[in-house]
Amino acid sequence: LKSNLKAAVERRTTRVTCSLCLLLQVFQDLGTEVLSGAAKGYNICLFAYGQTGSGKTYTMLGTPASVGLTPRICEGLFVRQEDCAPLPSSCRIKVSFLEIYNERVRDLLKQSDHKKSYTLRVREHPEMGPYVQGLSQHVVTNYKQVIQLLEEGIANRITAATHVHEASSRSHAIFTIYYTQAILENNLPSEIASKINLVDLAGSERADPSYCKDRITEGANINKSLVTLGIVISTLAQNSQVFSCQSFNSTASDGGDSGVPSSPSGTSSGGGPSRRQLYIPYRDSVLTWLLKDSLGGNSRTIMVATVSPAHTSYSETMSTLRYASNAKNIINKPRVNEDANVKLIRELREEIGRLKAVLRSFELRNFRSLNEGKDENLKELVLQNELKCPPPLPLPPQIDQLTKDWTRKWNEWKALVEHYRVDINRRRAGLVIDSSLPHLMALEDDVLSTGVVLYHLKNLVSVKLHLRTKKEGTTKIGRIDSDQEQDIVLQGQWIERDHCTITSACGVVVLRPARGARCTVNGREVTASCRLTQGAVITLGKAQKFRFNHPAEAAVLRQRRQVGEAVGGSGSLEWLDLDGDVTASRLGLSPLLWKER
């Protein structure tokens, strides 16, 4: 028994090691090409195609034990960013995750009602191409945040058991990375952007009458999108071959040395009618419409064909190989996504350099022809040429200063996002700002106020780890003319110099008004220490109103609401005996939650 168990463990260890080596080899062959193209500013698309159970999701996403291509590529972007830190450049990374289920688009990174989640529509911009309206984009600053978003999206993705695989993907998933770099090129500030589409397609399979109606509908929509993808790939391959033949014929006819006469209008060199570009049915499927630029436009596209070694999958394997064979014939025209003004300046500089070279050759020929002539005429000719071509002017110092200011703003913005743990997302026409720390949101009565002001409260854990101050977890509120430095400065009627303090420790936030200071919480005047709860409305002085937000407490209340527990509203106040120790366990909050956040 021990020997059999040992042999089984050795076999499993060997399989795991082989899978790890295989994914690492795939990343070295394909993932490094993705990173290299993204660093140069090209759009990249990497998608896996194959039948159900052939390893598409395993190749693209992997497992916790063996990381797939998508996490490795994300890790490579941040490693490249750290390696290029000494250079005068800055990077910004945003991600989005969507799935196409039954020809409808769903955002995998947005919490919404399941019945109303498939309402995103695909639009087409005249310059940017097809896009999903209302798709959330999340700014990430490290690899850990990317993994959290990936895990969240994978958990929301639809899977079901089939005859081939017990957890088969029933939708197409597209993980998009928006990689923007601010660089200094030829002493000019420039910005290049790259869009990386990492696509995990649903597996094709034969229809089975034993499936329920939903499964048959899913399979029909999956096969429809995959058939449309095959038609698009085949049409693009044919158009690429026609383009190559026309280019070859035009080159041969222009050369004149080959002896082959040029074909008349409307006929090819073989005597038959000329082949026109075929119509490409991108809009027949949501998948091909979204991947329009990736399949036949401005993108470097890589296809991973996954096949099954089983002899029963012979026809599916041959179909996948035909897909790959047609995809190899497609010719795309990728270009660097850079600033149009910087590109124009570079092209003008190259043109100026070419004209200077022509002028120098002309001067050299004139010098040789006039070498036997008079020296005075030669000097006069050189002087005239110098007057025609003045020396290049040095670059103005404003450009250098603009680059420095732009880089400084990037670094300040990144430091603010990391320090205050703020996540800024775009939701349709709105902008959502999420923070994981307790904060006050100002409620302005002034109709001329147009900004949103958030005041983050000092926390005991964050202060100990980062700020290293003695006044741990205490936020002071008062006027600017106070003897002590105030963290939040207010002006208005009935605002005292030292108005109040807010202490945050172990998930408990307590408001302590100063003697004679007017403080109101949820319409009740507070004269002693009071614990603040999620959603409490605080009035300081006569008209300074704030809303208190406690993200950790709100998360616990949402969990209780889901399990059906009765939760008190935001208008409730809990008065505490603050002479003793206040711990998070009395409030139902875990201190570990704060440390992890």
Over the stretch 406-440, which tens digit does the pLDDT of each residue have? Answer: 677 777 777 766 666 666 666 666 667 777 788 89
**In this structure, are 48 and 178 located in the same domain?**
yes
| pTM over 0.85, yes/no | no
**Does residue 63 share a domain with residue 186?**
yes
Residue 359 confidence (pLDDT) above 90: no
Whether residues 313 and 165 share a domain: the answer is yes
Average pLDDT, the chain: 75
pLDDT of amino acid 543: 86
Q: Say whether both 11 and 132 belong to one domain.
A: yes
Residue 567 clears pLDDT 50, i.e. is over it: no
pLDDT band at 354 (very low <50, low <70, confident <90, very high): confident
As a whole number, mean pLDDT of residues 295-305 equals 88
372/167 Cα distance (integer angstroms): 89
Mean pLDDT is lowest, of 179-183, 426-430, 448-452, 550-554, for: 426-430
Distances (CA, A) of 477 to 231, 507, 512: 66, 20, 10
Answer yes or no: do 448 and 322 share one domain: no
Which residue positions form the known binding site for ATP? Answer: 50-57
Q: How far is CA 95 from CA 34, 122, 227, 363, in A?
A: 16, 18, 28, 56
- Asked, for residue 123, whether it belongs to a domain, the answer is yes
- Residue 526 is predicted with a pLDDT of 92
Supply the pLDDT for residue 329.
86
The neighbour count for residue 298, using CB atoms within 10 Å, is: 16
By 3-state DSSP, what share of the chain in percent is helix, strand and coil, each rounded to 5? 40, 25, 35
Residue 489 neighbours by CB under 8 Å, 6+ apart: 478, 479, 480
Residues 317 and 466 in one domain: no
Boundary residue ending a domain (328, 363, 392): 328
Which residue numbers belong to the known binding site? 50-57
CATH number at residue 298: 3.40.850.10
- Determine the pLDDT at residue 346: 76
pLDDT in tens, 88-117: 457 889 999 999 988 889 898 887 655 556
The Cα 322–Cα 230 span in angstroms is 9
Residue at 355 is within a domain? no
What is the predicted pLDDT for the residue at 444?
A: 83
Instruction: Kindly report, residue by residue over 488-532, the tens digit of the pLDDT.
Output: 999 888 899 999 999 988 888 999 999 889 999 999 999 999 999
In a domain, 586, yes or no: no
Best mean pLDDT range from 38-52, 161-175, 368-382, 391-405 = 38-52
The Cα–Cα gap between 44 and 46 comes to 7
Q: What is the DSSP string of 534-553?
A: TT-EEEETTTEEEEEE-HHH
Q: Return left, alpha or beta for 132; rule: phi > 0 is left, psi -120 to 50 is alpha, else beta.
A: beta
pLDDT at 244: 63
Which of 548, 557, 563, 562 lies closest to 589 in space, CA to CA? 557
Please, which residues bridge with residue 498 across strands?
478
Q: Is residue 402 part of a domain?
A: no
Q: For residue 45, what pLDDT is reported? A: 93
**Count of domains observed in the chain:** 2
Domain assignment present for residue 271? The answer is no
Checking if the pLDDT of 561 tops 70, the result is yes
What's the CATH code of the domain at 487?
Answer: 2.60.200.20
Please check whether residues 152 and 22 belong to one and the same domain: yes
What DSSP letter does each residue of 5-72 carry, written as one string?
HHHHHHHHHHHHHHHHHHHHHHIIIIIHHHHHHHHHT--EEEEEEEBTTSSHHHHHTB-SSSB-HHHH
Residue 419 host element (H or E): helix 397-420
Average the pLDDT over 265-275 and give the result: 46
Pick the last residue of a domain from 328, 346, 368: 328
Please indicate, yes or no, if residue 38 is contained in any of the structural domains: yes
Q: What DSSP element (H or E) covers 387?
A: helix 375-388
Q: Domain range for residue 128?
A: 1-243+278-328
Q: Is residue 572 part of a domain?
A: no
Is the same domain home to 31 and 169? yes
In a domain, 395, yes or no: no
